[in-house]
Chain A
Amino acid sequence: MIKKILLYIFLIVTGLMMLAPFIWMLSASLMYDGHASTYPPRFIPDEFTLYQFESLFSRLNVARNLFNSLSLSIIVTLVSLFFNSMAGYAFAKYRFAGKDKLFSLLLSSMIIPAQVTMLPLFLMLKEMGFINTYMAIIIPGLANIFGIFLIRQYALSIPDSLIESARMDGATDFQIYRTIILPLCLPILITLAIFTFMGTWNDFLWPLIALTDSSMYTLPVALANLMGEHTKDPELMMAGSVITIVPILIVFLVLQKYYIKGIMLGGVKE
């Protein structure tokens, strides 16, 4: 019994430690300038204010960065979901020459770190006139190997008989994809959608390279940039962090079941 109580105390204390940075972030974001820089530190604002959020939106134009992050995450998610699901379906359900070789080539190339591609990608997109535009973020995200892999694994379990009987009824390949495969793959599509959305939202190095104008920055890039000038303004920076974290947290909390399942699929299968 005592062991059990100790275990719970341990879980509660460590759980609070995990959450403490977020609690402090939220609390400091609601303070006036300088009120978070005191000793001993304040955990609860002495006076609540939305002043920091106001100055982020009115003076520092964060709404624009929020809009960029949101649009880019949505566009990349939709387009890559479309591309990946088609390719995943083809790998799962069609027979063609060199299929297995092609698939294992794709899988083994996942070991190549993205950083290797960044210099030539930058030069290519610069030639195309896409640097500092949305296209610079969308193009490298059009399709990804992990997404194709996830959908293939899932689509393998769809019975061939379903596809064949639809074909008997005169459905075209694309109709089969749209009316049978996509609905049946919905759970894995949602999983992949969250992964892609969060990946795009949280991404830092590539947007830092490809977006050069502050009006084009995504939130993480804008935030890192702001940090350079506001190292002594924790209240303002915490408000910026809140704006960056809260949307992604909401997406996660609503769809966490699918996200957790995606991690397990990637981890257990391999």
Chain B
Amino acid sequence: MRENKVQIERKDFSSGISAAYFFLAPALISIFIFFFIPVIAAFIISFTDFDIYSLGNYNNLRFVGLKNYSDLLNNELFWISLKNTFYFVIVASPLSISVSLGAALILNSKVVKLKGIFRLAYFIPVVTTLVAVAIVWRFIYHPRFGILNYLLSFAGINPIDWLGDPFWAMPSIILMSIWKNFGYNMIIFIAGLQNIPEHLYEAAVLEGASGWQQFKKITLPMLAPTTVFISIITMIGNFQLFAEPYVMTQGGPLNKTLSVVQYMYQEGFRWWNMGYSASIAFVLFIIIFIGTMLQLRIQKQTA
């Protein structure tokens, strides 16, 4: 804060520019050094054989062209992690968005009183620490002592080893993640619903439109921009799946919950195969980029 006196004494118009740079400098320099440079560096590293030997001595570093990427495409574990991540994204995202929309519709209707309390109950998991709630759920899913199996026993369902069964592990993580996250999109949907002009519904009622017709012809189209935004941020977030499997299953059983980010973490920070790991990060980035572009294009076509 010492420098400002020197930099901004003049009041004429040209001082505005140097003042602007003064205000921008701290944030932009840190973003440039600690975000943009690492992105570029990661791109370069992904074409090298950066490993534990290069970590000790950078002279051991060699460019290997596309080798990391071709290794990646020939690695079974990578394809497994990619498949698991797509499973999570494709199932969890639409389910979570539907639950968010349903909750928003109910909490936005005029019939419901005490909206604030219910909204709070649905929302609280969003702000809590993912690692902590993943641990709680690990015990909820416990095959012998867990609450879930206990509750299901009343419906005559035999105990299931939720996180230990290759079939059930991913659905269990999906259920927990929907519980944890849907409140966030619910809030955005409520804001979107409140922006729809009331007279549209009044006109529809006059013309005898049913509730379902109103939902299909007014609510959904009017919410379209909100829905696209929500699907993009939900998809991006879900592609970055990491803490849930790390805490609940460590990627198991039989690698059925190993995610791309977890695979990247293991290769990069467990085995120090940093060149290889950087290529995993870039493939993830490309997938997220394509996914976002696709959703934006779909929105443009339907609009």
A contact set with B: CB distance below 8 Å: 4, 7-8, 11, 14-16, 18-22, 24-25, 28, 36-41, 82-84, 86-87, 89-91, 94-96, 102, 106, 109, 111-113, 115-124, 139-140, 142-145, 148, 167, 170, 172-174, 177, 198, 201-202, 204-205, 208-209, 219-221, 223-224, 227, 234, 237-238, 240-241, 244-245, 248-249, 252, 256, 259-260, 263-264, 266-268, 270
- Decide if B122 touches A18 in the complex (CB within 8 Å): yes
- Decide if A25 touches B136 in the complex (CB within 8 Å): yes
Question: In the complex, which residues of chain A have a beta carbon less than 8 angstroms from the beta carbon of B277?
Answer: 119
B contact set with A: CB distance below 8 Å: 4-5, 8-9, 11, 15-17, 19-24, 26-28, 30-31, 34-39, 41-42, 45, 55, 106, 111-112, 117-118, 120-125, 127-133, 135-140, 142, 144-147, 150, 179, 184, 187-188, 191-192, 195, 225-226, 229-230, 236, 239-240, 242-243, 246-247, 261, 264-265, 268-269, 274, 277-278, 281-282, 284-285, 288-289, 292
- Decide if B191 touches A264 in the complex (CB within 8 Å): yes
Question: In the complex, which residues of chain B have a beta carbon less than 8 angstroms from the beta carbon of A234?
Answer: 139, 142, 145
Q: Known contacts A39-B145, A173-B8, A267-B230; decide if A224 and B247 are in contact (CB<8 Å).
A: yes
Shortest Cβ distance from residue B16 to the other chain A in the assembled complex, whole angstroms: 6
- Decide if B127 touches A252 in the complex (CB within 8 Å): yes
Question: In the complex, which residues of chain B have a beta carbon less than 8 angstroms from the beta carbon of A37?
Answer: 142, 144-145
Q: Known contacts A248-B129, A268-B226; decide if A227 and B247 are in contact (CB<8 Å).
A: yes
- Decide if A84 touches B27 in the complex (CB within 8 Å): yes
Shortest Cβ distance from residue B27 to the other chain A in the assembled complex, whole angstroms: 4
Closest 8 pairs between A and B when the two form their complex, measured CB to CB? A267-B188, A94-B20, A120-B41, A87-B27, A143-B27, A117-B38, A173-B19, A90-B23
Residue of B whose beta carbon sits closest to that of A143:
B27
